[in-house]
Structure formats: C-alpha cells, structure tokens
Structure 1
Amino acid sequence: MINRDDLGSWLEGPRIDREDGDWPGRRLGLPESGSHSLAPAWRRLLGLVVDWFMCLAIANLIGSSNPFLAPGIFALEHVLLVATLGYSVGHRIVGIEVRRLDGHVPGLLKSLIRTLLVILVIPALIFDRDNRGLHDLAAGTVILRR
C-alpha cells in the first residue's frame, strides 16, 4: 500500500542513508537548512518548468515554426542570466540561485557548460550524495536557497 510519505519523497531528492550529523552539502561547507543551503529538488524542478514555459511563450509570440527556437531562447536565457546574475527568471521566482563553490556567480564558461548539460536532460537527472546533478558537478557549481 502506498502512503503519503511515498508520494512526496521524490520531491525531496534521493534518499541516502546518512550518518548522524550528515546532510547534503555538509562536505561542501554549506548549512543544513535556511539561506545558502542546498536547494531542494522540487524548487529546482519548478524553476526549470517556469523558465521552460516562459521560453515557449516567447517562441510562440515570435510566431516562428522553428522547433529549435524555444530551446535556443532557454539556452540564451540561462547562459546570460546565470553567468552574470547567478539565477534565471525561474530561479528567482522560486528563490534559488546558482553559485560556484567559492560563492561567486558562475561566469560565462561555467554557465555555458552547465546550460549545455541541462539541455541534454539526462545529466541533470543524475545526482551525487550532495544532491548535485552532473551538470553542476561538471561546471563546479551548486544551487542554493536565497
């Protein structure tokens, strides 16, 4: 029988048996909860959905039948905004930000690496013990609560 905990657990990210006093982000020097702790999976997913639908709406307003227009707008938004501000429109709405491990905004190269892997989808679905996707591992970034 399915209980309420089973239905909501996927929003919290993967469950890994942890020792006492361990939490995702501890090895990175991040707090367990609150500002500047790792963002939960549901916020990351919601931010991505907001960005994607915004880019689809822009592509529809332009009126082009090019199937690469919406992904192109999405990539451009992510590369430029994450590189300079540390967040996209969707990230800002859900209260998360992308930072390098030293706390600075990612910059153009790291943002480009991260965005290309997010567009491929699969790397963003594979997480490590700190709930960082392969796109964040490759770029040396982390998604934090604001």
Structure 2
Amino acid sequence: MDNRQALGSWLSGPRAAAEQAGVDFGYRGQQLGLPEEGPGSIARPGARLGALAVDWALCSVIAYGLITQSYGQTSQNWALLILFVLMTLTIGTVGATPGKLIFRLRVVSVRGGRLSPLRALLRAALTCLAIPALVWDRDGRGLHDRLSGAVQIRV
C-alpha cells in the first residue's frame, strides 16, 4: 500500500476502509429486519435532529412563557425538565413527540409494537443526558435507543 492509499483510507474512515477490504455492512436497519427505504425504515439523522429541535423549541417556549418569564439558565433548566416529561408521556403512550409527528417519525420497540412507559422513561432520561444520544451504532441507533430497546422509524 503506498502513502496515498494509506492516507485515503484514513480520511474516508474505518467503515470505508473495511468496505474496500470486502466487508459487507448492509444497509441501516438490516440487522433489525427493517426495510431499507420507505415506511418502517430507520429514521434519518437529519429528521431526528429536526424533530428534537422542534421539541426543544416547544419546551423552551413553554418554560419561558409559563414558568420563568425570562430567558436564561433557569429557563433552559425548566425546558429540559419539560422535555423529559414530554418525551416520557408521549413516547410511552402514542410513540412520538410533537416534533417526531411533524417529521413523520415514530419510536417503537425493537420487538415490535409500542415502547413500554418504563422504557420510554429510561429513553427520555438518557436523551436528556445527551451523550448516550450522540453515540450511534452501525444501524444509526443511539445508545439511548439501544439501552431502552427502541428504534426510530419512518412512518
């Protein structure tokens, strides 16, 4: 391997280097038995981040307008608490937050069906910690989804 190949494999990342070596990773969600595209497939990162941004904005408006009447650290702490409650209640009952409904996403159990309220509570707590949601596996599932037995899919 010459220096250009070594540098190219380093720049493209370990997944690209492994694929060049003949490893087949398949598509996101294949290991879970989900379709590659369309309804029921793994939700894309952009849609998931957009849904979270909508939910955070909604919780910030509620915290500002109904609780603190000022924008600052106190308002953001309340917004985080409201987000935790919102995620626990909505994902544990209907399987989606308002932001996820707008982006046509749903959170379901890996085994199929709705996520139990206890698992929704665990998922909401891990999401509010932020770090588990930023660590993804090869299927694009965050650590918060893996630990709670959930997967975000397109509707």
Bin the TM-score by the shorter chain: 0.7 to 0.9
Call closer, same or farther: CA 1:21–1:129 in 2, change over 3 Å: closer
Within the alignment, does 1:47 sit opposite 2:51 as a pair? yes
Question: What is the deviation of 1:31?
Answer: 0.3
Question: Normalising by structure 2, what TM-score?
Answer: 0.80
Question: What is the deviation of 1:16?
Answer: 3.5
Give, in whole Å, the separation in 1 of the partners of 2:152 and 2:78.
Answer: 26
Question: What is the deviation of 1:109?
Answer: 0.8
Q: 2:114 aligns with which of 105, 110, 126?
A: 105
Give, in whole Å, the separation in 1 of the partners of 2:125 and 2:33.
Answer: 27
Percentage of matched positions with identical amino acids: 37
Call closer, same or farther: CA 1:94–1:107 in 2, change over 3 Å: same
The residue aligned with 1:117 is: 126
Call closer, same or farther: CA 1:119–1:15 in 2, change over 3 Å: farther
Unmatched 5+ stretches in structure 2:
1-12
Matches for 1:8-19 after TM superposition, within 5 Å: 16-17=15-16, 19=23
Within the alignment, does 1:127 sit opposite 2:131 as a pair? no
AA matched with 1:106: L
Matches for 1:1-146 after TM superposition, within 5 Å: 16-17=15-16, 19=23, 22-64=26-68, 66-67=74-75, 68-146=77-155
AA matched with 1:26: Q
AA matched with 2:152: I
Normalized per residue, the structure richer in helix is: 2
Look at both structures and tell me which one has the larger radius of gyration over its CA atoms: 2
1:47-84 Cα deviation digits (max 9, x unpaired) = 00000000000111114264421111111100000000
Q: Specify the SS of the correspondent of 2:139.
A: coil
Unmatched 5+ stretches in structure 1:
1-13
Is this contact kept in 2: 1:16–1:129, CA < 8 A? no
Q: Aligned pair count?
A: 133
Regions of 4+ moved over 2 Å: 14-21, 65-68
Question: What is the deviation of 1:21?
Answer: 8.0
